[in-house]
């Protein structure tokens, strides 16, 4: 447990919360489609050569993908389109992307709808309306957690450029049965920049509180069943709900380890929600 915490710092579900954020004595605001448990993914038969067996069309669409990508978005259709193009470039094709509208006022929702019309792997959801603080994005992520069907859960954000082998490397990492979650650390960079040195060793609460090498949720992936144990993002926090959730994950004793290189480019000036 992080320094300064004690068993009294918890919500109604027993999850720890920041002791230094005032005004969090009441219950967290309810999100639509609040998560209770994550449903077990429906498995589908593999074909050793072609991938999925003889299933096609709507039969394939009804079955659970290997990976779920949670992508809440606000205003900024150009950033969103760039990110969706990067997802379409992934070598691993067995994924779904949940595009969660937080109440956009520009044409971002239309851009999301266009991609969903072109590729059934994009699923459209609506979250809380954007406002001050981070609560709308925390709520949107919680909606995504409730709706996601994949065995592996990942997060994304508008403006993030995923390398084409990101999902390949994630699925390869989870062949290690001792691994609960993984991250490919990296900060704000421009194309052509030299990647920063990568950390090694399993992540600890102390390291998270010191400098948080995960930096953005777009760098994170975890086994979906962990969500039932770790819980949802705290929508009461004005900011830092992602770090609080990571601290909870590691504090529960789950193993979070780095991958061997940066797999996400986050352009300078593109702030994480």
pTM: 0.76
Mind listing the pLDDT tens digit for each residue in 5-48? 333 334 444 443 333 333 444 444 555 544 444 444 444 333 32
- Mean per-residue pLDDT for 218-236? 94
In degrees, rounded to 5, the angle at the alpha carbon of residue 110 between the alpha carbons of residues 104 and 111 is 100
Q: How far is residue 272's CA from residue 216's CA, in Å, rounded to a whole number?
A: 7
Mind listing the pLDDT tens digit for each residue in 192-205? 555 555 667 899 99
- Mean per-residue pLDDT for 82-93? 96
Lowest mean pLDDT among 56-60, 87-91, 131-135, 246-250: 56-60
- Could you tell me whether strands 220-223 and 181-183 are parallel, antiparallel, or unpaired per DSSP bridges? antiparallel
Long-range Cβ contacts of 189-192 (<8 Å, 24+ apart): 189/262, 189/265, 189/266, 189/267, 189/268, 190/265, 190/267, 190/268, 191/265
Instruction: Please say if the pLDDT value at position 273 is more than 60.
Output: no
Of all residues in the chain, what percent are helix, strand and coil, respectively (each to 5)? 25, 15, 55
């Amino acid at each position: 447990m992080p320094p300064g915490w004690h068993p009294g710092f918890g919500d109604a579900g027993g999850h720890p919360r920041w002791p230094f954020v005032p005004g969090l004595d009441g219950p967290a605001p309810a999100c639509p489609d609040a998560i209770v448990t994550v449903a077990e993914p429906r498995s589908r038969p593999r074909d050793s050569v072609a991938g999925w067996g003889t299933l096609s069309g709507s039969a394939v669409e009804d079955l659970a993908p290997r990976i779920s990508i949670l992508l809440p978005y606000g205003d900024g259709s150009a950033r969103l389109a760039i990110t969706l193009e990067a997802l379409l470039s992934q070598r691993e094709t067995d994924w779904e992307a949940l595009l969660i509208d937080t109440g956009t006022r520009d044409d971002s929702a239309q851009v999301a709808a266009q991609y969903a019309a072109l590729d059934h792997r994009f699923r459209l959801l609506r979250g809380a309306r954007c406002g001050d603080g981070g609560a709308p994005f925390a709520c949107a992520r919680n909606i995504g957690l409730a709706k996601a069907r994949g065995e592996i859960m990942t997060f994304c954000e508008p403006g993030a450029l995923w390398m084409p082998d990101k999902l390949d490397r994630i699925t390869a990492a989870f062949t290690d049965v001792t691994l609960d979650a993984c991250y490919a650390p990296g900060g704000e960079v421009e194309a052509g920049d030299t990647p920063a040195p990568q950390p090694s060793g399993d992540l600890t609460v102390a390291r998270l509180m010191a400098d948080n090498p995960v930096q953005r949720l777009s760098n994170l992936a975890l086994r979906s069943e962990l969500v039932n144990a770790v819980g949802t993002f705290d929508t009461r926090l004005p900011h830092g709900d992602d770090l609080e959730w990571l601290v909870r994950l590691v504090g529960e004793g789950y193993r979070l380890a780095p991958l061997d290189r940066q797999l996400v480019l986050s352009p300078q000036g593109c702030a994480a929600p």
